[in-house]
């Protein structure tokens, strides 16, 4: 589901851009006037005297100068002042004056360009989207990105960017789509990210570490993917604050520990839940039986125990249920034969009697002799990202000393 969303982004980019620009409020137009754009109105009748296109020319020429590899000559026509004719550059009427054309989008997806982002990028103040997926851009994100107050979509995925989480992102007031996946960003993720009104957050496959910050009221994300980073800790009950919006939650390979909280079952819009390749203990919360829209559930490669509840197996939309490489000892009712319901499932490497490809009796005994009581475990609130008193998405888990910490075999990486 997350991948299908990503595949549609480029195709709808220009349509989204035009719709977005047409529907922006007059408040944003007034903001532009406040910053002095209106004073150029009488002088911007011709393309050569359009100050904002001139600023775009300065920015794009500065960008071209720091491109050191362009094997497909994607930017070969970035010559001269007519920036609206540049390949990958899209212009439209200004929000505050329809007689003025401005650069509203830059789409360099899959151009295989190597270089970095210059500080002059901040001159492109009318940008609504930046798509740089699948290039070889490197270095850190310039602070001047914060000047792009109209930016709606930012896709920097599949590049070689480094450094801490790009803080200018937190200053973008209307950002709705953020894709930082497959880069080399590192360090903590600031708590403000989960307070912004962003619809889709992809920060997977980086080097982010420490705790992911607080999930607070007012968040609006429908898709969150933070897989394959170096996080740790447990998932607290505050995950329920996403109940009104969240549809896809992927926490693959993030060193997640502790029990899966029953509040996950409050995410009534959820269609995809993937917490595989972690160290989650305890049973499957029966509250998951209330997720009527759930289509894909992946609990594989954890340390979970107990029964697979029939309430989950009879979910009306369930199409794929993977719970292999755990320590489940019973499948209730129809869970023993999900194929009869047309559900793809994988129950290998558990402790299920009379099922093939299960763990050895010794492996099962060593774990099941030390049951986990999730009622005695709590996600500890801590100050993350320097915000005093906020609870974290992954707070340190209180795992009993007797709980086995041996990780099961790992499945292929998330892609």
Q: Return the sign of the alpha-carbon dihedral for residues 11, 14, 17, 19.
A: negative
Contact 264, 288 (CB under 8 A): yes
How many angstroms separate the CA atoms of 91 and 71, rounded? 25
Whether residue 215 contacts residue 242, with contact meaning beta carbons closer than 8 Å, is answered with yes
Q: Which two tokens stand for residue 314?
A: 């009879």
**How far apart are alpha carbons 183 and 234 in whole angstroms?**
25
Q: How far apart are CA 304 and CA 323, in angstroms?
A: 9
pLDDT in tens, 295-348: 999 999 999 999 999 999 999 999 999 999 999 999 999 999 999 999 999 999
Per-residue pLDDT, 207: 95
**Domains of the chain, start order:** 1-177 (3.80.10.10), 188-410 (3.80.10.10)
pLDDT at 7: 41
CA pair distance 160, 155, nearest whole angstrom = 13
Per-residue pLDDT at 35: 37
Count of CB atoms situated within 10 Å of the CB of 3: 9
Q: Which residues neighbour 36 within 8 Å (Cβ) at sequence distance 6 or greater?
A: none
Name residues whose C-beta falls within 8 Å of residue 319's C-beta, 6 or more positions apart in sequence.
295, 296, 342, 343, 344
Query: In angstroms, rounded to a whole number, what is the distance separating the alpha carbons of residues 119 and 122?
Result: 6
For the whole model, what pTM was predicted? 0.82
The DSSP call for residue 81 is S
Where the chain has pLDDT below 50, the residues are 3-47, 381-392, 395-415
What local confidence, expressed as pLDDT, does residue 214 receive?
Answer: 52
Cβ neighbours for 94, distance < 8 A, ≥ 6 positions apart: 32, 37, 52, 100, 101, 102, 126
């Amino acid at each position: 589901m997350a991948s299908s969303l990503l595949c549609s982004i480029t195709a709808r980019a220009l349509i989204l851009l035009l719709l977005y620009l047409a529907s922006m409020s007059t408040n944003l137009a007034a903001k532009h006037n406040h910053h002095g754009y209106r004073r150029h109105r009488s002088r911007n009748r011709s393309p050569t005297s359009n100050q904002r296109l001139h600023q775009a020319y300065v920015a794009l020429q500065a960008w071209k100068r720091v491109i050191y590899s362009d094997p497909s000559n994607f930017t070969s026509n970035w010559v001269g002042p007519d920036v609206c004719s540049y390949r990958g550059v899209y212009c439209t009427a200004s929000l505050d004056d329809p007689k003025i054309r401005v650069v509203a989008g830059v789409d360099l997806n899959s151009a295989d360009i190597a270089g970095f982002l210059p500080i002059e990028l901040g001159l492109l103040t009318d940008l609504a989207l930046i798509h740089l997926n699948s290039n070889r851009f490197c270095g850190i994100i310039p602070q001047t990105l914060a000047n792009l107050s109209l930016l709606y979509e930012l896709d920097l995925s599949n590049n070689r960017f480094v450094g801490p989480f790009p803080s200018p992102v937190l200053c973008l007031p209307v950002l709705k789509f953020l894709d930082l996946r497959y880069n080399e960003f590192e360090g903590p993720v600031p708590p403000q990210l989960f307070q912004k009104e962003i619809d889709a957050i992809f920060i997977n496959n980086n080097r982010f570490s420490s705790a992911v910050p607080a999930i607070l009221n007012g968040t609006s994300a429908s898709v969150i993917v933070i897989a394959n980073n170096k996080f740790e800790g447990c998932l607290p009950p505050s995950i329920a604050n996403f109940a009104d919006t969240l549809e896809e939650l992927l926490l693959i390979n993030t060193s997640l520990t502790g029990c899966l909280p029953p509040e996950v079952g409050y995410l009534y819009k959820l269609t995809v839940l993937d917490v595989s390749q972690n160290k989650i203990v305890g049973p499957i919360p029966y509250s998951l039986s209330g997720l009527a829209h759930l289509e894909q559930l992946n609990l594989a490669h954890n340390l979970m125990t107990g029964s697979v509840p029939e309430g989950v197996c009879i979910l009306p939309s369930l199409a794929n249920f993977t719970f292999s490489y755990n320590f489940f000892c019973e499948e209730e009712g129809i869970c023993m034969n999900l194929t009869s319901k047309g559900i793809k499932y994988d129950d290998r490497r558990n402790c299920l009697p009379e099922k093939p490809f299960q763990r050895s009796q010794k492996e099962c005994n060593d774990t099941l002799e030390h049951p986990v009581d999730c009622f005695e475990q709590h996600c500890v609130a801590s100050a993350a990202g320097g915000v005093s008193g906020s609870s974290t998405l992954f707070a340190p888990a209180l795992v009993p000393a007797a709980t086995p910490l041996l990780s099961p075999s790992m499945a292929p990486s998330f892609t």
